[in-house]
Amino acid sequence: MQSDLYNIGEAAIASCISSKMIRRYEESGLIPKASRSLSDYRVYNGKNVNMLRFIKHARDLGFSVKQISSLLNLWTDQARSSSEVKSLATEHILLLDQKLKELNTMKSELTRLVSCCHGDERPDCPILDSLAQNEI
Amino acid sequence: MQSDLYNIGEAAIASCISSKMIRRYEESGLIPKASRSLSDYRVYNGKNVNMLRFIKHARDLGFSVKQISSLLNLWTDQARSSSEVKSLATEHILLLDQKLKELNTMKSELTRLVSCCHGDERPDCPILDSLAQNEI
DNA sequence: TAAAAACCTTACCTGTGGGGTAAGGTCAAG
DNA sequence: CTTGACCTTACCCCACAGGTAAGGTTTTTA
């Protein structure tokens, strides 16, 4: 009859978030404090696990914990406007774009250096030379 | 005559690494302990500053502090083979590639969700719906 | 020449998002 | 009733940086 109840290990498996992180999310206030069993074990219900899954999906999309906190508020707020969510997501895409640009710059520069390096037993190396340059 | 000497603030400006991080790099063993003035101020010479600049350039290329430690060893080892450096750099490119893929996956998925969201004052929102889905 | 500003020192806390370990309580199966 | 698997809290650690505080030194300025 109460098949809807999970302890933290079961909730971890069901949500793909480690017990460790579930406790941390609770401690940091991202999720509400779990109710406890007589022996002080955390007890979760299906709704709680859905929230954890929501968090997991958002983390997989690269949202920060802070952003997820906002998303959870919007999620549980039936009066939210979808534009609020959309702007949060759009902002996050801009951040992803920025990181992508940085990584691409690094990669192309490094690829150029690697292609200039003969990579044999000789000690002279354009990669180290470039890193040692005083000017870029 | 000793125009080649810098205190930590000057070394920071010359290398574009904050005083803070210079101290930390020393503490962590990435760079040797600086010599000290009579009043216990750290003193750097041109060679030290070149090492800091080397580190800065490598950080800008996304190398980890650990990798930079290896690069510094190779840099100061006149008997190194360029292949060692090249393989370290190549390995790092693979890591950059992996991160790029992850970020691209996030971005395209999120872009798809955003394009599905009408983003007006109505509460229904495909982004939240997707995050709340039990299956992906 | 004395005060003030600018710099240095160490030591500690913050964030971000995790991982690990230890010491002890609880539960279920054998 | 013991053993193993689970739970609890309380710490430590990683990378990589920023901030702040309290105190000493050096340089500039009035």
pLDDT of residue B69: 93
DSSP string, B70-124: HHHHHHH-TT--HHHHHHHHHHHHHHHHHHHHHHHHHHHHHHHHHHH---SSSS-
Q: Are residues A65 and A4 in the same domain?
A: yes
Q: Are residues B98 and B73 in the same domain?
A: no
Longest Cα–Cα distance in chain A:
73
Q: Inform me whether the pLDDT recorded for B135 exceeds 80.
A: no
Name the nearest CA neighbour of A124 among B68, B58, B82, B90.
B82
Give CA torsion, residues A63, A67, A70, A75, to 10 deg: 0
Question: How close does chain A come to B16, measured CA to CA in Å?
Answer: 11
pLDDT in tens, B93-134: 999 999 999 999 999 999 999 998 988 888 888 998 899 887
Tell whether B108 is covered by a domain: yes
Question: How close does chain A come to B36, measured CA to CA in Å?
Answer: 25
Q: Are residues B7 and B67 in the same domain?
A: yes
Q: Are residues B10 and B30 in the same domain?
A: yes
pLDDT of residue A136: 47
Q: Are residues B10 and B70 in the same domain?
A: yes
Q: Are residues A71 and A98 in the same domain?
A: no
Domain count, chain B: 2
pLDDT in tens, B11-55: 999 999 999 999 999 999 999 999 999 999 999 999 999 999 999
Residue numbers of the domain that contains B14: 1-80
Tell whether B85 is covered by a domain: no
Q: Are residues B71 and B100 in the same domain?
A: no
Q: What is the average pLDDT score of chain A?
A: 90
Tell whether B25 is covered by a domain: yes
With 0-12 / 13-18 / 19 or more C-beta atoms within 10 angstroms meaning exposed / middle / buried, residue A22 is buried
Tell whether B95 is covered by a domain: yes
Sign for the pseudo-dihedral over CA of A56, A17, A74, A78? positive
* Separation in Å: C27 C1' and A39 CA: 10
Question: What distance lies between CA B14 and its chain's CA centroid?
Answer: 18
Q: Inform me whether the pLDDT recorded for B136 exceeds 90.
A: no
More confident: B79 or A92: A92
**Tokens linked to A78:** 């039936």
Tell whether B109 is covered by a domain: yes
Q: Inform me whether the pLDDT recorded for A23 exceeds 70.
A: yes
- Nucleotides on chain C within 7 angstroms of protein Cβ: 7-10, 16-20, 25-27
- Nucleotides on chain D within 7 angstroms of protein Cβ: 6-9, 15-20, 24-26
Q: Which residues on A lie below 8 Å from B61 (Cβ)?
A: 106, 109-110, 131
Confidence band, pLDDT 50/70/90 cuts, at residue A3:
low
pLDDT in tens, B62-102: 999 999 999 999 998 888 888 989 999 999 999 999 999 99
Q: Are residues B74 and B101 in the same domain?
A: no
Residue A41 is part of a domain; what is its CATH number?
1.10.1660.10
Q: Are residues A56 and A102 in the same domain?
A: no
pLDDT in tens, A30-87: 999 999 999 999 999 999 999 999 999 999 999 999 999 999 999 998 888 889 899 9
pLDDT of residue A33: 93
Q: Are residues B44 and B73 in the same domain?
A: yes
pLDDT of residue A2: 44
Q: Are residues A7 and A73 in the same domain?
A: yes
> Rounded mean pLDDT of A8-33?
94
Q: Is the CB of B65 under 7 A from strand D?
A: yes
> What amino acid occupies position A62?
G
B89 → closest Cβ in A75, A78, A127:
A127
Within chain B, how many helices (H) and strands (E) appear? 6, 2
Residue B94, chain A, CB below 8 Å: the answer is no
- Do B11 and B55 meet the contact criterion of CB atoms below 8 Å apart? no
Distance between CA atoms of residues B6 and A28, nearest Å: 44
Q: Are residues A19 and A63 in the same domain?
A: yes
